[in-house]
Chains A and B, each alone.
Chain A
Amino acid sequence: MVSFRKHFDIQAGNYDEAGKAASEIKRVLKQLHFSKDLQKRVSVASYEAEINIVIHSVGGSVDFLIQDNQIFLQFVDNGPGIEDIALAMTEGYSTASDLSRLNGFGAGMGLSNIKKSADEMTLVSDPCGTVMKLKFIDREVVEDDSSQTI
């Protein structure tokens, strides 16, 4: 069983550092020869989730875990929380600042991009903070496995 684990802190408001965890995660996946499709999906979701913590929260972190052909990401921040998750998931709805728009984000696409990229997504939020769990399965590895068993 392949297992790998890493933790990254994410600073609120620091646009220059945003994407560091996402690019490190991608580097590891590339090094371990995960499929291009998986690399792309995980990159997009982790970048968007990282940017969300930078834009909206007071700071947080991401835990990255690989277990065989499954990737788990857990983004945690310390508030202020998402008031209405259903509304936040709607494409185009945004509470982001002008600063985030100047940085090329804040158009209300992040959460739906994440949902589209991940195989599973759970989002729990209250004023204490937000926890987002994402799971990805490398389908090409699954296909390879099934062909071997036949």
Chain B
Amino acid sequence: MIRLKPSDLNYKVLTYQKEDIVFHSVYVSDLLSNVLRNAKEGDILVTTIANLNTIAVASLKELSAVIFAEDKVISEDMIEKALEEGVCLLVTPKSAFQIALDLGKLS
């Protein structure tokens, strides 16, 4: 179990999360079928796929958070659905690789 304080990383939190994000591991993918197959409950997903399906998959797999790389535009609909489903969303201009490095330093 790894703890991430959203404010520490300077990523933008879209779902008003104030508590620490507790995660097991990090899964990086832009293919939701791979996320469905391989991501584990409690993982953080790092992706550039930003649509309602990303939120639905994160909710189904009970991921601890989704971090959108490369400053992807996140719609109001997505934020609303994430709040409904209890999925924490963050966004940053960094690349997926840089995000993975940031998260790696925590573990």
Contacts and interface: CB of A to CB of B under 8 A. Distances in A.
B51 A104 contact: yes
Interface stretch (B14-22, B55-63, B97-105): B55-63
Which of under 10, 10 to 19, 20 to 34, or 35 or more describes the interface residues of B? 20 to 34
Contact of A103 (B34, B49, B60, B61): B49
Interface string A34-69: 001000100110011001000000000000000000
A15 B56 CA distance: 11
Contact of A15 (B33, B47, B52, B61): B52
Given A22-B56, A22-B60, A15 B31 contact: no
Q: Which one of B32, B49, B52 has the highest number of Cβ atoms from chain A below 10 Å of its Cβ?
A: B32
B60 A15 contact: no
B33 A48 contact: yes
Contacts, number: 66
Given A15-B52, A104-B53, A47 B37 contact: no
B36 interface: yes
26 contacts: A15-B53, A16-B52, A18-B56, A19-B53, A19-B56, A19-B57, A19-B60, A22-B60, A40-B41, A40-B61, A44-B37, A47-B57, A47-B60, A48-B33, A48-B36, A103-B51, A104-B53, A104-B54, A104-B57, A105-B31, A105-B32, A105-B53, A107-B33, A107-B34, A109-B31, A116-B37
Given A44-B60, A47-B56, A107-B31, 16 more contacts: A15-B53, A16-B52, A16-B77, A19-B57, A22-B56, A23-B56, A23-B85, A26-B60, A40-B41, A43-B61, A104-B47, A104-B57, A105-B53, A107-B34, A113-B36, A116-B37
